[in-house]
Chains A and B, each alone.
Chain A
Amino acid sequence: MIECGVFKRTYEEDMAFRHTALARWRIYLLLLAVVVFPFVASEYYVGIANLIGIAIIGALGLNILTGFTGQISVGQGAFLGVGAYTSAILAIRLGLPFWLALPGAGLVTALVGSVFGIPSLRLKGLYLVIATLAGQVIIEWTIGHWVDLTGGSQGMTNIPSPAIGPLTFASRTSYYYLTYAIVLAATVFASNLFRSKVGRAFVAVRDRDIAAEAMGVHLFRYKILAFAVSSFYVGVAGSLWAHYLNMISPEHFTVGVSIEYLAMIIIGGLGTVSGSIFGAIFMTLLPVILRELTGPLSAMLPITQVFNALREGIFGIVIIVFLIYEPHGLAKIWRNIKDYFRLWPFSY
């Protein structure tokens, strides 16, 4: 059947999540693909999918703050660290199960994020970048030096895998299902948020904070709230990371990681939920693909090493290319493709 424009009769229909039958089927197919993936893919790729899932949650968090609310943060790496370390400390030192450590990590990170968000009331743009950079440095330093709690530069090992009774999520495949259940919840929550009061106010703060305030949006409260929700997501991602690798150390949470996440949401699409997903996939796969492509060559040429050395530089170039040619990111490219095929074969 060819769809020829979309018509709705009621506001309920008009405000539904996915408007067309085609879009609904696309969602079902996607869910099915996610469920089936581990059956058809090798362990290696399931492992990569896990990293993508964790990155999606983290990118959603950063996008809520930077893409939707317009508060640029380069503290992402540190906030991931707060989540990962909190979760590990709760699990190892206090012996809490993962199921409590994960939300605990989210809440603690939300609290820390809110505190580091306080300067956002006064600072905008580059000044806020500097302030969040200061936050990044302070947290990194604390993690590296509070040896009794964090193990210092040694990091922490033997972080337990999640378990329900005798059932453990130690294998890549079981962790995959755990991760993607959380990805699903995180995605649905974020999408809903931005079609209701609080999310709309976030976007209003981004677009015109003065007008938003004149219209009854309490700027301070909403900016802090954005930092809190964002950091909650990031804390959950950090926790998932810690219990997946079973070990963490400070170098996982540097400012380089912050930059990578910024690249993710810029390439994927600022201020869109799907952009966070595209960006996470793209940025996680980019090094993998480069490695595969260059595998045969790398015996002769040190391309992989060069890539690692140039990593940040290459990401920087990719960001600039996107900013110039498609500032709305992969999400926009995807939208264009969808629009093209919605009216296909009459799309012109």
Chain B
Amino acid sequence: MIQLAVENLGLHFGGVTALRGITLDVNQGEILAIIGPNGAGKTSLLNCVSGLYRPSEGRLSFDGQDITHLPPYKRARLGIARTFQNIELFRGMTVLDNLMLGRHVHLQSSLLIGGIYFGFAQKEEIEHRRAVEDIIDFLEIEKIRKRVVGTLPYGYQKRVELGRALAWEPRILLLDEPMAGMNIEEKEDMARFILDINEEREVTVVLIEHDMGVVMDISDRVAVLDFGQKIGEGTPDEVRANPQVIRAYLGEANGVGLASFGGSK
């Protein structure tokens, strides 16, 4: 079943074309990887889906509902959650508060009720704190729950950002390079978390990642972008054999070459 449909999406910044004619379906419950060289338009595509960028043409729909013109905060309410390539955590807040903010769309307390606190708001905070603690356990970040996020090492910040997106109880999770800058061990942890999230929580995952080994290992399908266009799509094996994809990657000089296509499979 198609959950997210991207139809003929185009995005321009002045003279720069970031995306052109992108059509892509994301099926409910799958892990879809988006790969492509730097500047291919992967982040721009996620930004269009979560509403931070307005596409110049084309259409987006989620669960059959047209969301092309929906503002970001309303898309969040539909269950579209994401992380960012350059971590966008609330740096002055604790890990707990970041995760609690992830539940913003589920909380009810108004300004007055919150200010009075005792009664409804307190009950609500405790109830949602439980949900957040589950995620803290799951991501194994118990020890840092009271730490201010800005002071944490990079790997933990990535994990907290994933936690914040999970706290949302999303239907689809958009991950922009969740493993960038991590060592092998951290990458393995992250891959395990993503698989668990997908299987146990039944969350659709769209994943941008450069590490081909990881991509080939965990994704059900792969879409390839180059210069703002989709040049290939299919199962990892199909994509690996796609001549156009091979050409694009051979033309690339930055090391994300064909060699890493063999990956750790």
**Interface residues in chain B, defined as those with a beta carbon under 8 Å from any beta carbon in chain A:** 50-52, 71-73, 76-77, 81-82, 84, 88-93, 97, 100-102, 104-105, 107-111, 113-117, 121-122, 124-126, 129-130, 133, 164, 168
A12–B130 CA distance with the chains assembled, in angstroms: 11
Q: Mark A295-335, 1 if CB is under 8 A from B, else 0.
A: 00000000000000000000000000000000000000000
A189-206 Cβ-contact flags toward B at 8 Å (1 or 0): 110110111111101101
B72 touches A213 (CB 8 A): yes
Residues from chain A with Cβ under 8 Å of B113 in the complex: 196
Mark interface residues in A231-244 (1 if CB within 8 Å of B CB, else 0).
00000000000000
Which of A15, A195, A215, A229 contacts B102 (CB under 8 A)?
A: A215
Q: Is the CB of A11 within 8 A of B130?
A: yes
The residues in A between 165 and 212 inclusive whose CB is less than 8 angstroms from any CB of B are 189-190, 192-193, 195-201, 203-204, 206-208, 210-212
A225 at the interface (CB under 8 A from B): yes
Measured between beta carbons, the chain A residues less than 8 angstroms from B82 are 214
A271: interface (CB < 8 Å): yes
**In contact, B101 and A192 (Cβ under 8 angstroms):** no
Would A207 and B93 count as touching, CB distance under 8 A? yes
Instruction: Report which of A196, A200, A212 forms a contact with B117, defined as CB distance below 8 A.
Output: A196
Interface residues of A, count at CB 8 A: 32
Chain B residues within 8 Å of A24, by CB: none
CB-based contact B73/A211 at 8 Å = no
Binding site for B on A (CB under 8 A): 11-12, 15, 189-190, 192-193, 195-201, 203-204, 206-208, 210-219, 225, 229, 271
A95 to chain B, nearest CB (A): 29
Q: How far is the CA of A218 from the CA of B75 in the complex (A)?
A: 11
Cα distance A216–B84 when bound, in Å? 15
- A192–B115 contact, CB under 8 A? yes
Which residues of A lie under 8 Å from residue B107 when comparing CB positions? Answer: 196-197
Inter-chain contact B76/A207, CB cutoff 8 Å:
no
Q: Are B50 and A196 in contact (CB under 8 A)?
A: no
Q: Is the CB of B93 within 8 A of A218?
A: no
By the criterion CB–CB under 8 Å, are A198 and B102 in contact?
no
Distance (whole angstroms) from the CB of B45 to the closest CB of chain A: 15
A189-B116, A229-B111 given; name 14 further pairs at CB < 8 Å: A15-B125, A196-B107, A196-B114, A197-B108, A204-B93, A207-B93, A211-B89, A211-B90, A212-B90, A212-B101, A214-B52, A215-B104, A215-B164, A216-B73
Which of B92, B109, B168 contacts A215, CB < 8 Å?
A: B168
Closest Cβ–Cβ distance, residue B111 to chain A (whole Å): 5
CA of A211 to CA of B82, assembled, Å: 9
Give the docked Cα–Cα distance between A210 and B116 (Å): 29
Q: Are B100 and A192 in contact (CB under 8 A)?
A: no
Chain B residues with Cβ below 8 Å from A208 are 88-91
CA distance A192 to B91 in the complex (A): 21
Residues of A within 8 A of B111 (CB): 193, 198, 225, 229
- Which residue on chain B has the smallest CB distance to residue A192? B117
Contact in complex: A198, B110 (CB < 8 Å): yes
| A203 and B104 contacting across the interface, CB-CB below 8 Å | no
Q: In the complex, what distance in Å separates the CA atom of A192 from the CA atom of B119?
A: 12
How far does the alpha carbon of A313 sit from the alpha carbon of B122 in the complex, in Å?
45
Contact of A219 among B73, B105, B168 (CB under 8 A): B73
CB distance B97 to A203 under 8 Å? Answer: yes
CB neighbours (8 Å) of B93 from chain A are 200, 203-204, 207
